[in-house]
């Protein structure tokens, strides 16, 4: 059974950055305003995510890392959200099958917090009382210690730290009121790299450069009164002063970080036609749609989505962007 669990867990958590994504999403769901990530050895040795969210109640600790255990019950009851949010109650459980997980947490009004470690879905010991500051800290150690081939291939391939910074910048761009930071510890104590992103522009600047942050164009569209394609979009796009080797698209649909290749290509086409010299833009976009209009691949690691009435929505966004870029050109 443990082999089956381990294989399933390795599907949910494919590499260090996927663990960070799940942990940060949990921190955001807990209402955090400040989230710190710290990693060693590209996340293979150590990942720590600390937040200032509402914490985890003592009575929830024993089952925290059981599969399909979620406190997000109202969402769970709603079939449509299961579809739009992907799997529920899988992430933390999965991590315990492929790493050593330690949780330190305190809920509001408590004098002390609790610390507990998990392995293979269960607590290794009773929660121990400890000093804690507001929120939750989760440490993932020795990721894939029991998946030798995976560990080897990750060790020899590129470090996940840049991917983690990129991921956090995406969250920081969307969650304007949450500050993020990321730290990497190298082999020696002096070898520390860190990034702080306390605002949206900070995040854009530190990851995509100063020039893009200076010249962003605001875009907005909504279609609230036509019942066939109810949607709201707002975002920020780069102008003719920015061009990169490839397009960056930071896309949130219904508050979830996703990808939509068709939409990205469609926007590139508009840029190529109106600003040929800046045809690899930076795009941040948040789209709100009725959940039943978003078709998410149920596999937890696939971020690609497709939309109902996709053509209509894409054309609407294309024309909005085209108008903005033409105005800019004049
Ligand atoms: P899900 O997010 O789908 O509910 P997870 O396995 O990611 O499942 O997390 C399990 C549960 O652990 C969550 O429902 C939540 O109650 C709790 N949890 C995890 N991380 C945090 C956190 N940082 N702050 C508060 N609660 C958390
Ligand atoms: Mg989660």
Q: Report pLDDT for 296.
A: 67
Residue 158 has pLDDT above 90, yes or no: no
Tens of pLDDT, residue by residue over 186-232, are 878 788 899 999 989 889 988 888 877 788 999 999 876 666 558 89
Write down the mean pLDDT value for the chain: 88
Distance 330 CA to ligand 2 centre (A): 47
Residue 169 has pLDDT above 80, yes or no: yes
Q: Report pLDDT for 303.
A: 81
Q: Report pLDDT for 139.
A: 98
Percent of the chain with pLDDT over 90: 65
Taking residues 110-129, report their average pLDDT. 96
Quote the Cα angle for 15-76-137, to 5°.
Answer: 45
Name the strand (E) or helix (H) holding 46: strand 46-51
Please give the class, per CATH, of domain 210-329: alpha beta
Please give the class, per CATH, of domain 2-203: alpha beta
Tens of pLDDT, residue by residue over 231-280, are 899 999 999 888 889 999 999 998 889 999 999 999 999 999 999 999 99
Name the strand (E) or helix (H) holding 50: strand 46-51
Nearest CA to 145 out of 23, 16, 44 is that of 44
**Residue at token pair 């510890």:** 185
Ligand nearest to the CA of 24: 1
**C-alpha to C-alpha distance for 209 and 248, rounded to whole angstroms:** 12
Distance 26 CA to ligand 1 centre (A): 5
CA-proximal residue: ligand 1, atom 11 (nearest) = 70
Residue 85 has pLDDT above 50, yes or no: no
Residue 218, beta-bridge partner list: 236
Q: Which atom, in ligand 1's list, is nearest to the CA of 91?
A: 6
Ligand nearest to the CA of 138: 1
- Contact, 250 vs 210, CB < 8 A? no
Q: Could you tell me if the ipTM is greater than 0.95?
A: yes
Taking residues 76-105, report their average pLDDT. 75
Taking residues 285-314, report their average pLDDT. 81
Whether pTM > 0.90 for this model: the answer is yes
Taking residues 301-305, report their average pLDDT. 77
Other Cβ atoms closer than 10 A to 255:
16
Q: Report pLDDT for 86.
A: 43
Q: Which residue has the higher pLDDT, 186 or 160?
A: 160
Q: Which atom, in ligand 1's list, is nearest to the CA of 90?
A: 6
Residue 181 has pLDDT above 90, yes or no: yes
Percent of the chain with pLDDT over 70: 90
CA-proximal residue: ligand 1, atom 5 (nearest) = 89
For the chain, the structural domain boundaries read: 2-203, 210-329
- Contact, 185 vs 215, CB < 8 A? no
CB within 6 Å of ligand 1 — which residues? 22, 26-27, 30, 51, 53, 55-56, 64, 70-72, 88-93, 136
Residue 316 has pLDDT above 60, yes or no: yes
CA-proximal residue: ligand 1, atom 21 (nearest) = 26
């Amino acid at each position: 059974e443990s082999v089956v669990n381990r294989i399933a867990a390795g599907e949910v958590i494919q590499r260090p950055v996927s663990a960070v994504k799940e942990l940060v999403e949990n921190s955001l769901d807990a209402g955090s305003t400040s989230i710190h990530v710290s990693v060693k050895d590209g996340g293979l040795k150590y990942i720590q995510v600390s937040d200032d969210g509402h914490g985890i109640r003592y009575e929830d600790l024993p089952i925290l890392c059981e599969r399909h255990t979620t406190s997000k019950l109202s969402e769970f009851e709603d079939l449509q959200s299961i579809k739009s949010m992907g799997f529920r109650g899988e992430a933390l459980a999965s991590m315990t099958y492929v790493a050593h997980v330690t949780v330190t947490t305190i809920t509001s009004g408590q004098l002390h917090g609790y610390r507990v470690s998990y392995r293979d879905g269960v607590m290794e010991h009773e929660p121990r009382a400890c000093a804690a500051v507001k929120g939750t800290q989760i440490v993932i150690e020795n990721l894939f210690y029991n998946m030798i081939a995976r560990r080897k291939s990750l060790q020899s391939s590129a470090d996940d730290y840049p991917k983690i910074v990129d991921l956090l910048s995406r969250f920081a761009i969307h969650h304007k009121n949450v500050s993020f930071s990321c730290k990497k510890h190298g082999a020696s104590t002096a070898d520390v790299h860190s990034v702080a992103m306390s605002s949206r522009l900070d995040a854009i600047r530190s990851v995509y450069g100063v020039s893009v942050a200076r010249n962003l164009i605001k875009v907005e569209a909504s279609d609230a009164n036509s019942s066939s394609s109810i949607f709201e979009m707002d975002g920020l796009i780069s102008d003719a002063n920015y061009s990169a080797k490839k397009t960056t698209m930071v896309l949130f649909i219904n508050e979830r970080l996703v990808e939509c290749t068709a939409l990205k290509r469609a926007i590139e086409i508009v840029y190529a036609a109106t600003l040929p010299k800046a045809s690899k833009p930076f795009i941040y976009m948040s789209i709100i749609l009725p959940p039943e209009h978003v078709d998410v691949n149920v596999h937890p690691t696939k971020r690609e989505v497709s939309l109902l009435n996709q053509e209509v929505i894409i054309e609407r966004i294309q024309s909005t962007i085209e108008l903005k870029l033409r105005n800019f050109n004049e």
